[in-house]
Protein backbone atom coordinates (compact mmCIF):
# COMPACT_ATOMS: atom_id res chain seq x y z
CA UNK A 1 0.00 0.00 0.00
CA UNK A 2 1.36 3.38 -1.03
CA UNK A 3 1.69 5.87 1.77
CA UNK A 4 0.91 9.47 1.02
CA UNK A 5 0.26 12.73 2.77
CA UNK A 6 -3.09 13.99 3.94
CA UNK A 7 -4.56 17.43 4.51
CA UNK A 8 -7.35 17.87 7.04
CA UNK A 9 -9.34 21.07 6.62
CA UNK A 10 -12.52 22.51 8.04
CA UNK A 11 -15.15 23.11 5.37
CA UNK A 12 -17.54 25.40 7.26
CA UNK A 13 -16.93 28.23 9.76
CA UNK A 14 -14.55 26.25 11.95
CA UNK A 15 -15.11 23.85 14.87
CA UNK A 16 -16.06 20.96 12.60
CA UNK A 17 -14.15 18.50 14.79
CA UNK A 18 -10.75 18.75 13.09
CA UNK A 19 -8.87 18.18 16.35
CA UNK A 20 -10.61 14.88 17.05
CA UNK A 21 -9.99 13.62 13.52
CA UNK A 22 -6.35 14.76 13.37
CA UNK A 23 -5.68 13.03 16.69
CA UNK A 24 -7.31 9.86 15.39
CA UNK A 25 -5.47 9.89 12.04
CA UNK A 26 -2.12 10.62 13.70
CA UNK A 27 -1.94 6.89 14.34
CA UNK A 28 -1.15 6.53 10.63
CA UNK A 29 1.27 9.50 10.33
CA UNK A 30 4.85 10.27 11.32
CA UNK A 31 4.57 14.05 11.22
CA UNK A 32 1.67 16.41 11.98
CA UNK A 33 1.97 20.00 10.76
CA UNK A 34 -0.02 23.19 11.37
CA UNK A 35 0.17 25.53 8.39
CA UNK A 36 -1.94 28.63 9.13
CA UNK A 37 -3.84 30.49 11.82
CA UNK A 38 -2.64 30.79 15.37
CA UNK A 39 -4.07 30.33 18.85
CA UNK A 40 -7.45 31.52 17.61
CA UNK A 41 -7.95 27.79 16.94
CA UNK A 42 -9.41 25.54 19.61
CA UNK A 43 -9.09 21.86 18.72
CA UNK A 44 -10.63 19.45 21.21
CA UNK A 45 -9.26 15.96 21.63
CA UNK A 46 -10.95 13.49 23.94
CA UNK A 47 -9.27 10.22 24.83
CA UNK A 48 -11.08 8.18 27.46
CA UNK A 49 -12.15 10.64 30.14
CA UNK A 50 -9.36 13.10 29.39
CA UNK A 51 -10.08 16.24 27.36
CA UNK A 52 -7.31 18.39 25.86
CA UNK A 53 -7.95 21.61 23.95
CA UNK A 54 -5.09 22.50 21.64
CA UNK A 55 -4.66 25.99 20.23
CA UNK A 56 -1.20 26.08 18.67
CA UNK A 57 0.24 22.64 19.18
CA UNK A 58 -0.69 20.24 16.39
CA UNK A 59 -3.41 17.82 17.48
CA UNK A 60 -1.03 14.89 16.96
CA UNK A 61 0.91 15.85 20.10
CA UNK A 62 -0.79 13.25 22.30
CA UNK A 63 0.83 10.43 20.31
CA UNK A 64 4.35 9.85 21.74
CA UNK A 65 6.17 8.93 18.58
CA UNK A 66 4.99 11.71 16.34
CA UNK A 67 6.93 14.78 15.29
CA UNK A 68 4.85 17.95 15.48
CA UNK A 69 5.66 20.93 13.34
CA UNK A 70 4.47 24.53 13.19
CA UNK A 71 4.91 25.87 9.66
CA UNK A 72 5.70 29.38 8.45
CA UNK A 73 2.03 30.14 7.72
CA UNK A 74 1.21 30.16 11.44
CA UNK A 75 1.30 33.34 13.52
CA UNK A 76 2.94 32.38 16.76
CA UNK A 77 2.32 33.93 20.15
CA UNK A 78 5.36 33.08 22.32
CA UNK A 79 3.27 33.49 25.48
CA UNK A 80 0.44 31.28 24.24
CA UNK A 81 2.84 28.62 22.99
CA UNK A 82 4.84 28.33 26.19
CA UNK A 83 1.69 28.31 28.30
CA UNK A 84 0.18 25.56 26.18
CA UNK A 85 3.35 23.47 26.32
CA UNK A 86 3.28 23.74 30.13
CA UNK A 87 -0.38 22.77 30.26
CA UNK A 88 0.00 19.78 28.00
CA UNK A 89 3.12 18.59 29.82
CA UNK A 90 1.28 18.96 33.13
CA UNK A 91 -1.20 16.42 31.73
CA UNK A 92 1.65 13.95 31.38
CA UNK A 93 2.40 14.42 27.67
CA UNK A 94 6.11 14.56 26.96
CA UNK A 95 6.96 17.04 24.22
CA UNK A 96 10.76 17.06 24.51
CA UNK A 97 12.25 17.61 21.07
CA UNK A 98 9.09 16.50 19.24
CA UNK A 99 8.09 20.08 18.43
CA UNK A 100 9.75 22.02 15.61
CA UNK A 101 8.85 25.54 14.58
CA UNK A 102 9.65 27.29 11.33
CA UNK A 103 12.17 30.12 11.55
CA UNK A 104 9.83 32.06 9.24
CA UNK A 105 6.90 32.08 11.67
CA UNK A 106 5.62 35.56 12.38
CA UNK A 107 5.40 36.37 16.07
CA UNK A 108 2.26 37.71 17.74
CA UNK A 109 3.41 40.34 20.21
CA UNK A 110 1.41 42.20 22.89
CA UNK A 111 0.64 45.18 20.64
CA UNK A 112 -1.13 42.88 18.16
CA UNK A 113 -3.50 41.79 20.89
CA UNK A 114 -4.07 45.37 22.02
CA UNK A 115 -4.79 46.46 18.44
CA UNK A 116 -7.18 43.56 17.79
CA UNK A 117 -9.17 44.36 20.92
CA UNK A 118 -9.11 48.12 20.41
CA UNK A 119 -10.38 47.75 16.86
CA UNK A 120 -13.19 45.41 17.82
CA UNK A 121 -14.15 47.69 20.70
CA UNK A 122 -14.29 50.71 18.39
CA UNK A 123 -16.51 48.90 15.89
CA UNK A 124 -19.25 48.24 18.45
CA UNK A 125 -22.12 46.29 16.88
CA UNK A 126 -20.30 46.10 13.55
CA UNK A 127 -17.48 44.08 15.08
CA UNK A 128 -16.21 40.91 13.41
CA UNK A 129 -16.29 39.02 16.68
CA UNK A 130 -12.62 38.01 16.51
CA UNK A 131 -11.07 35.83 19.15
CA UNK A 132 -9.13 38.88 20.35
CA UNK A 133 -5.83 37.02 20.09
CA UNK A 134 -4.03 39.49 17.81
CA UNK A 135 -4.29 37.27 14.74
CA UNK A 136 -5.38 39.95 12.23
CA UNK A 137 -2.82 42.59 13.26
CA UNK A 138 0.00 40.00 13.18
CA UNK A 139 -0.87 38.97 9.62
CA UNK A 140 -1.11 42.66 8.68
CA UNK A 141 2.43 43.23 9.94
CA UNK A 142 3.60 40.21 7.93
CA UNK A 143 2.18 41.59 4.70
CA UNK A 144 3.39 45.09 5.56
CA UNK A 145 6.89 43.57 5.90
CA UNK A 146 7.43 44.90 9.39
CA UNK A 147 6.68 41.72 11.39
CA UNK A 148 9.18 39.96 13.65
CA UNK A 149 9.92 36.39 12.67
CA UNK A 150 11.12 33.64 14.98
CA UNK A 151 14.48 33.35 13.22
CA UNK A 152 15.25 36.99 13.92
CA UNK A 153 15.53 36.24 17.62
CA UNK A 154 19.04 34.97 16.84
CA UNK A 155 20.02 38.61 16.66
CA UNK A 156 18.29 40.46 19.46
CA UNK A 157 20.10 43.74 18.73
CA UNK A 158 18.47 43.97 15.31
CA UNK A 159 15.10 42.99 16.76
CA UNK A 160 15.46 45.68 19.44
CA UNK A 161 16.04 48.32 16.81
CA UNK A 162 13.14 47.33 14.62
CA UNK A 163 10.77 46.74 17.50
CA UNK A 164 11.26 50.35 18.55
CA UNK A 165 10.18 51.56 15.11
CA UNK A 166 7.24 49.15 14.87
CA UNK A 167 6.05 49.97 18.37
CA UNK A 168 6.32 53.71 17.76
CA UNK A 169 3.95 53.20 14.85
CA UNK A 170 1.47 50.94 16.65
CA UNK A 171 1.50 52.99 19.85
CA UNK A 172 0.71 56.04 17.78
CA UNK A 173 -2.36 54.27 16.38
CA UNK A 174 -3.41 52.85 19.75
CA UNK A 175 -3.21 56.20 21.47
CA UNK A 176 -4.05 58.66 18.71
CA UNK A 177 -6.78 56.75 16.90
CA UNK A 178 -8.23 54.29 19.41
CA UNK A 179 -7.57 56.33 22.59
CA UNK A 180 -6.13 53.29 24.29
CA UNK A 181 -3.08 53.01 26.55
CA UNK A 182 0.27 52.48 24.81
CA UNK A 183 2.49 49.47 25.41
CA UNK A 184 5.90 49.74 27.02
CA UNK A 185 8.72 49.08 24.55
CA UNK A 186 11.22 47.80 27.14
CA UNK A 187 8.68 45.40 28.61
CA UNK A 188 7.87 43.89 25.22
CA UNK A 189 11.56 43.59 24.33
CA UNK A 190 12.46 42.04 27.69
CA UNK A 191 9.61 39.54 27.35
CA UNK A 192 10.88 38.53 23.95
CA UNK A 193 14.51 38.30 25.07
CA UNK A 194 13.51 36.17 28.03
CA UNK A 195 11.59 33.70 25.87
CA UNK A 196 14.08 33.70 22.96
CA UNK A 197 16.33 30.80 24.14
CA UNK A 198 13.50 28.32 24.59
CA UNK A 199 11.79 29.40 21.36
CA UNK A 200 15.06 29.14 19.41
CA UNK A 201 15.67 25.66 20.80
CA UNK A 202 12.59 24.51 18.82
CA UNK A 203 13.42 26.39 15.63
CA UNK A 204 13.93 24.43 12.41
CA UNK A 205 14.21 24.83 8.67
CA UNK A 206 10.78 23.28 8.11
CA UNK A 207 10.89 22.98 4.29
CA UNK A 208 14.13 20.93 4.50
CA UNK A 209 12.81 18.92 7.42
CA UNK A 210 9.64 17.94 5.53
CA UNK A 211 11.57 17.13 2.34
CA UNK A 212 13.83 14.80 4.31
CA UNK A 213 10.85 13.16 5.99
CA UNK A 214 9.19 12.56 2.63
CA UNK A 215 12.42 11.08 1.24
CA UNK A 216 12.47 8.75 4.23
CA UNK A 217 8.96 7.60 3.30
CA UNK A 218 7.17 9.33 6.19
CA UNK A 219 3.47 10.21 5.98
CA UNK A 220 2.71 13.82 6.78
CA UNK A 221 -0.62 15.00 8.13
CA UNK A 222 -1.38 18.69 7.56
CA UNK A 223 -3.79 20.12 10.12
CA UNK A 224 -5.93 23.05 9.06
CA UNK A 225 -7.38 25.54 11.51
CA UNK A 226 -10.63 27.52 11.17
CA UNK A 227 -12.73 26.63 8.12
CA UNK A 228 -13.02 27.46 4.43
CA UNK A 229 -15.85 29.95 4.93
CA UNK A 230 -13.46 31.93 7.16
CA UNK A 231 -10.78 32.04 4.43
CA UNK A 232 -9.49 35.59 3.91
CA UNK A 233 -10.04 35.37 0.13
CA UNK A 234 -12.79 32.82 -0.36
CA UNK A 235 -14.80 33.19 2.84
CA UNK A 236 -17.57 35.52 3.93
CA UNK A 237 -15.40 38.64 3.83
CA UNK A 238 -15.00 40.76 5.93
CA UNK A 239 -16.35 38.33 8.54
CA UNK A 240 -13.39 36.01 8.15
CA UNK A 241 -10.07 35.28 9.76
CA UNK A 242 -6.85 36.77 8.36
CA UNK A 243 -5.28 33.69 6.78
CA UNK A 244 -5.99 31.40 3.86
CA UNK A 245 -7.63 28.41 5.44
CA UNK A 246 -8.23 26.40 2.26
CA UNK A 247 -6.17 23.30 1.52
CA UNK A 248 -3.80 25.07 -0.88
CA UNK A 249 -2.40 26.99 2.08
CA UNK A 250 -0.88 23.76 3.39
CA UNK A 251 1.80 24.00 0.69
CA UNK A 252 2.65 27.69 1.09
CA UNK A 253 2.29 27.57 4.86
CA UNK A 254 4.91 24.84 5.25
CA UNK A 255 7.17 25.15 2.22
CA UNK A 256 6.39 22.01 0.24
CA UNK A 257 5.12 21.77 -3.33
CA UNK A 258 1.35 21.53 -3.92
CA UNK A 259 1.85 18.17 -5.64
CA UNK A 260 3.00 16.69 -2.33
CA UNK A 261 -0.14 17.47 -0.38
CA UNK A 262 -1.85 14.15 -1.05
CA UNK A 263 -5.43 13.39 -0.07
CA UNK A 264 -7.64 16.34 0.90
CA UNK A 265 -10.06 15.38 3.67
CA UNK A 266 -12.82 17.92 4.32
CA UNK A 267 -14.25 17.84 7.82
CA UNK A 268 -17.86 18.91 8.00
CA UNK A 269 -20.47 18.85 10.72
CA UNK A 270 -23.74 17.10 9.88
CA UNK A 271 -25.26 20.58 10.44
CA UNK A 272 -23.66 24.03 10.54
CA UNK A 273 -22.31 26.32 13.25
CA UNK A 274 -20.65 29.69 13.32
CA UNK A 275 -19.10 31.72 16.12
CA UNK A 276 -18.68 35.46 15.69
CA UNK A 277 -20.55 37.81 13.36
CA UNK A 278 -21.38 37.50 9.68
CA UNK A 279 -23.91 35.95 7.31
CA UNK A 280 -25.22 32.46 8.00
CA UNK A 281 -28.15 31.64 5.66
CA UNK A 282 -29.27 28.41 7.33
CA UNK A 283 -29.10 29.75 10.90
CA UNK A 284 -31.97 28.59 13.13
CA UNK A 285 -33.53 30.67 15.87
CA UNK A 286 -36.08 28.06 16.97
CA UNK A 287 -36.10 25.02 19.22
CA UNK A 288 -34.17 22.98 16.64
CA UNK A 289 -31.32 25.50 16.74
CA UNK A 290 -31.50 25.26 20.50
CA UNK A 291 -31.39 21.41 20.27
CA UNK A 292 -28.26 21.53 18.08
CA UNK A 293 -26.51 23.94 20.44
CA UNK A 294 -27.45 22.00 23.58
CA UNK A 295 -26.91 18.43 22.36
CA UNK A 296 -23.84 19.43 20.34
CA UNK A 297 -22.44 21.41 23.32
CA UNK A 298 -21.78 24.23 20.90
CA UNK A 299 -19.60 26.57 22.90
CA UNK A 300 -16.31 27.90 21.53
CA UNK A 301 -13.24 25.90 22.59
CA UNK A 302 -11.15 29.10 22.63
CA UNK A 303 -13.47 31.86 23.81
CA UNK A 304 -16.38 29.93 25.37
CA UNK A 305 -18.86 31.91 23.25
CA UNK A 306 -22.12 30.19 22.26
CA UNK A 307 -21.98 29.05 18.64
CA UNK A 308 -24.82 29.92 16.29
CA UNK A 309 -26.43 26.77 14.85
CA UNK A 310 -28.30 25.88 11.66
CA UNK A 311 -29.05 23.28 8.99
CA UNK A 312 -26.45 21.80 6.66
CA UNK A 313 -25.72 24.19 3.80
CA UNK A 314 -24.98 22.09 0.72
CA UNK A 315 -24.74 25.14 -1.55
CA UNK A 316 -21.84 26.59 0.41
CA UNK A 317 -20.36 23.12 0.82
CA UNK A 318 -20.37 22.38 -2.91
CA UNK A 319 -18.42 25.58 -3.43
CA UNK A 320 -16.01 24.68 -0.64
CA UNK A 321 -15.43 21.17 -2.04
CA UNK A 322 -14.30 22.79 -5.28
CA UNK A 323 -12.15 25.44 -3.57
CA UNK A 324 -10.25 22.79 -1.69
CA UNK A 325 -10.26 19.99 -4.22
CA UNK A 326 -11.82 17.80 -1.54
CA UNK A 327 -11.13 14.12 -2.18
CA UNK A 328 -13.21 12.81 0.68
CA UNK A 329 -15.44 13.99 3.49
CA UNK A 330 -15.56 13.28 7.18
CA UNK A 331 -19.03 14.03 8.54
CA UNK A 332 -18.93 14.76 12.26
CA UNK A 333 -21.47 15.08 15.05
CA UNK A 334 -24.04 12.87 13.33
CA UNK A 335 -25.22 11.84 16.81
CA UNK A 336 -26.37 15.41 17.50
CA UNK A 337 -29.18 14.90 14.96
CA UNK A 338 -30.52 11.82 16.83
CA UNK A 339 -34.17 12.23 17.77
CA UNK A 340 -35.12 14.95 15.29
CA UNK A 341 -38.33 14.24 13.34
CA UNK A 342 -37.01 15.67 10.13
CA UNK A 343 -33.78 17.14 8.86
CA UNK A 344 -33.26 19.86 6.27
CA UNK A 345 -30.50 20.44 3.75
CA UNK A 346 -30.12 23.76 1.91
CA UNK A 347 -29.83 22.80 -1.76
CA UNK A 348 -30.25 26.21 -3.42
CA UNK A 349 -30.59 29.89 -2.58
CA UNK A 350 -33.67 31.83 -3.66
CA UNK A 351 -33.29 34.91 -5.78
CA UNK A 352 -29.74 34.37 -6.95
CA UNK A 353 -29.97 30.99 -8.63
CA UNK A 354 -27.92 32.28 -11.54
CA UNK A 355 -24.95 32.86 -9.24
CA UNK A 356 -25.02 29.28 -7.90
CA UNK A 357 -22.24 28.68 -5.38
CA UNK A 358 -20.47 31.86 -6.51
CA UNK A 359 -22.78 33.80 -4.22
CA UNK A 360 -20.90 32.38 -1.23
CA UNK A 361 -18.64 35.12 0.05
CA UNK A 362 -20.11 37.75 -2.28
CA UNK A 363 -21.87 40.92 -1.16
CA UNK A 364 -25.26 39.31 -1.87
CA UNK A 365 -24.53 36.46 0.51
CA UNK A 366 -26.05 38.13 3.56
CA UNK A 367 -29.40 38.38 1.72
CA UNK A 368 -29.77 34.85 0.38
CA UNK A 369 -32.68 32.70 1.44
CA UNK A 370 -32.13 28.96 1.46
CA UNK A 371 -34.32 26.46 -0.38
CA UNK A 372 -34.54 23.28 1.66
CA UNK A 373 -34.86 19.64 0.87
CA UNK A 374 -36.38 17.74 3.77
CA UNK A 375 -35.53 14.23 4.87
CA UNK A 376 -37.01 12.08 7.62
CA UNK A 377 -35.00 11.99 10.84
CA UNK A 378 -34.36 8.89 12.94
CA UNK A 379 -35.25 7.90 16.45
CA UNK A 380 -32.58 5.25 16.76
CA UNK A 381 -29.19 5.95 18.24
CA UNK A 382 -26.04 6.82 16.30
CA UNK A 383 -24.02 7.85 19.33
CA UNK A 384 -20.76 5.90 19.53
CA UNK A 385 -21.61 3.66 16.55
CA UNK A 386 -18.46 2.42 14.79
CA UNK A 387 -20.02 0.22 12.10
CA UNK A 388 -21.80 1.90 9.18
CA UNK A 389 -24.33 -0.91 8.85
CA UNK A 390 -25.46 -0.38 12.44
CA UNK A 391 -26.60 3.20 11.77
CA UNK A 392 -30.38 3.71 11.52
CA UNK A 393 -31.50 3.47 7.87
CA UNK A 394 -32.53 7.15 7.79
CA UNK A 395 -29.14 8.22 9.11
CA UNK A 396 -27.46 6.27 6.31
CA UNK A 397 -29.86 7.82 3.82
CA UNK A 398 -28.92 11.30 5.09
CA UNK A 399 -25.18 10.61 4.76
CA UNK A 400 -25.65 9.15 1.29
CA UNK A 401 -27.75 12.11 0.19
CA UNK A 402 -25.08 14.58 1.37
CA UNK A 403 -22.42 12.66 -0.51
CA UNK A 404 -24.61 12.62 -3.63
CA UNK A 405 -25.37 16.36 -3.55
CA UNK A 406 -21.74 17.26 -2.90
CA UNK A 407 -20.32 14.79 -5.38
CA UNK A 408 -17.72 13.66 -2.87
CA UNK A 409 -17.26 10.31 -1.15
CA UNK A 410 -17.65 10.02 2.61
CA UNK A 411 -14.42 8.60 4.06
CA UNK A 412 -15.34 8.87 7.73
CA UNK A 413 -18.27 9.56 10.05
CA UNK A 414 -17.88 10.78 13.60
CA UNK A 415 -20.55 9.66 16.08
CA UNK A 416 -19.18 11.10 19.32
CA UNK A 417 -16.39 13.27 20.69
CA UNK A 418 -14.18 10.39 21.80
CA UNK A 419 -11.35 9.15 19.57
CA UNK A 420 -12.93 5.72 19.13
CA UNK A 421 -16.45 6.96 18.29
CA UNK A 422 -15.80 6.94 14.57
CA UNK A 423 -16.79 5.01 11.47
CA UNK A 424 -13.88 4.67 9.04
CA UNK A 425 -15.06 3.84 5.52
CA UNK A 426 -11.79 4.57 3.76
CA UNK A 427 -8.46 3.98 5.46
CA UNK A 428 -6.41 7.20 5.40
CA UNK A 429 -2.95 7.41 3.79
CA UNK A 430 -3.65 4.50 1.50
CA UNK A 431 -4.74 4.30 -2.11
P1 LIG B 1 -12.20 21.91 15.78
O2 LIG B 1 -11.91 23.32 16.04
O3 LIG B 1 -12.59 21.66 14.35
O4 LIG B 1 -11.11 20.97 16.22
O5 LIG B 1 -13.49 21.54 16.64
P6 LIG B 1 -13.74 21.95 18.19
O7 LIG B 1 -12.91 21.07 19.05
O8 LIG B 1 -13.62 23.41 18.37
O9 LIG B 1 -15.29 21.63 18.31
C10 LIG B 1 -15.81 20.38 18.07
C11 LIG B 1 -16.53 19.91 19.35
O12 LIG B 1 -17.33 18.80 19.04
C13 LIG B 1 -15.58 19.45 20.43
O14 LIG B 1 -16.15 19.71 21.67
C15 LIG B 1 -15.49 17.96 20.18
O16 LIG B 1 -15.16 17.23 21.37
C17 LIG B 1 -16.88 17.65 19.74
N18 LIG B 1 -17.02 16.55 18.77
C19 LIG B 1 -16.20 16.19 17.75
N20 LIG B 1 -16.76 15.19 17.04
C21 LIG B 1 -17.94 14.91 17.62
C22 LIG B 1 -19.00 14.00 17.32
O23 LIG B 1 -18.97 13.25 16.35
N24 LIG B 1 -20.09 14.04 18.13
C25 LIG B 1 -20.19 14.88 19.20
N26 LIG B 1 -21.29 14.82 19.93
N27 LIG B 1 -19.21 15.74 19.51
C28 LIG B 1 -18.11 15.78 18.72
P1 LIG C 1 -10.95 26.34 14.85
O2 LIG C 1 -9.59 26.00 14.32
C3 LIG C 1 -14.38 29.01 14.73
C4 LIG C 1 -13.56 33.21 13.86
C5 LIG C 1 -13.82 34.21 14.96
C6 LIG C 1 -14.24 35.42 14.13
C7 LIG C 1 -13.33 35.33 12.92
C8 LIG C 1 -12.08 36.19 13.01
O9 LIG C 1 -11.15 25.97 16.29
O10 LIG C 1 -12.01 25.83 13.95
P11 LIG C 1 -9.79 35.95 14.36
O12 LIG C 1 -9.53 35.91 15.83
O13 LIG C 1 -9.30 34.76 13.61
O14 LIG C 1 -9.34 37.24 13.73
O15 LIG C 1 -11.41 35.97 14.25
O16 LIG C 1 -12.95 33.97 12.83
N17 LIG C 1 -12.66 32.11 14.22
C18 LIG C 1 -13.07 30.85 14.45
N19 LIG C 1 -14.32 30.33 14.49
N20 LIG C 1 -13.31 28.21 14.89
C21 LIG C 1 -12.06 28.71 14.83
O22 LIG C 1 -10.97 27.95 14.85
C23 LIG C 1 -11.90 30.10 14.64
N24 LIG C 1 -10.83 30.93 14.55
C25 LIG C 1 -11.31 32.14 14.27
O26 LIG C 1 -14.86 33.78 15.82
O27 LIG C 1 -15.56 35.25 13.68
MG1 LIG D 1 -12.45 24.85 17.36
| 3-class state of residue 230 by DSSP | helix
Residue 328 has pLDDT above 70, yes or no: yes
Please check the confidence at residue 43 and state whether its pLDDT lies above 50: yes
Residues with Cβ within 8 Å of 111's Cβ and at least 6 positions away in sequence, in order, are 137, 166, 167, 170, 171, 174, 183, 188
Q: Which ligand is nearest to the CA of 332?
A: 1
Distance between CA atoms of 416 and 336, rounded to whole angstroms? 9
- Centre a 10 Å sphere on the Cβ of residue 70 and count the other Cβ atoms it contains: 26
Does the pLDDT of residue 136 top 70, yes or no? yes
pLDDT higher than 80, residue 1: no
Query: If you measure from the C-alpha of residue 77 to the centroid of ligand 2, how many angstroms do you get, rounded to a whole number?
Result: 16
From 275, 298, 300, give the residue whose CB has the most ligand 2 atoms within 8 Å, as the site to mutate.
275
Task: Please tell me the residue having the least CA distance from ligand 2 atom 5.
Answer: 130
What does the pLDDT read at residue 364?
A: 85
Averaged over 321-333, what is the pLDDT? 97
pLDDT in tens, 384-425: 999 999 999 999 999 999 999 999 999 999 999 999 999 999
Which residues contact ligand 2 via a Cβ below 6 A? 10, 13-15, 40-43, 128-131, 133, 135-136, 225-227, 230, 241-242, 275-276, 301
Instruction: Supply the DSSP symbol for 176.
Output: I
pLDDT at 423: 98
pLDDT tens for residues 83-118? 999 999 999 999 999 999 999 999 999 999 999 999
Residue nearest to atom 21 of ligand 1 (CA): 417
- Under the banding of pLDDT at 50, 70 and 90, the label for residue 431 is low
Tell me how far apart the terminal alpha carbons of the chain are, to the nearest angstrom.
7
Q: Following DSSP, what letter does each residue of 107-172 receive, concatenated?
A: EP-HHHHHHHHHHHHHHGGG-----SSSHHHHHHHHHTT---BGGGGG-HHHHHHHHHHHHHHHHH
Amino acid sequence: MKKKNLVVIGTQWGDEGKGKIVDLLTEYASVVVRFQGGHNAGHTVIVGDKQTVLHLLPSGILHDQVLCVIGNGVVLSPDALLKEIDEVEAQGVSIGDRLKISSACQLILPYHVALDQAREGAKGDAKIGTTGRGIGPAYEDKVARRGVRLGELLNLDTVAERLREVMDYHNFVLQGYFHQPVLDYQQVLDGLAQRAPVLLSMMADVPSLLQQKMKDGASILFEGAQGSLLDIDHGTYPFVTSSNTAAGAAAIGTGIGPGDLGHILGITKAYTTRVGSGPFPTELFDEIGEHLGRVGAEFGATTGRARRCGWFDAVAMRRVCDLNGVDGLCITKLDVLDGLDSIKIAVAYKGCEELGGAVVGSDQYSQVEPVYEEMPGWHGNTSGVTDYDLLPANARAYIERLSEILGAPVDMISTGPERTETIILKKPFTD
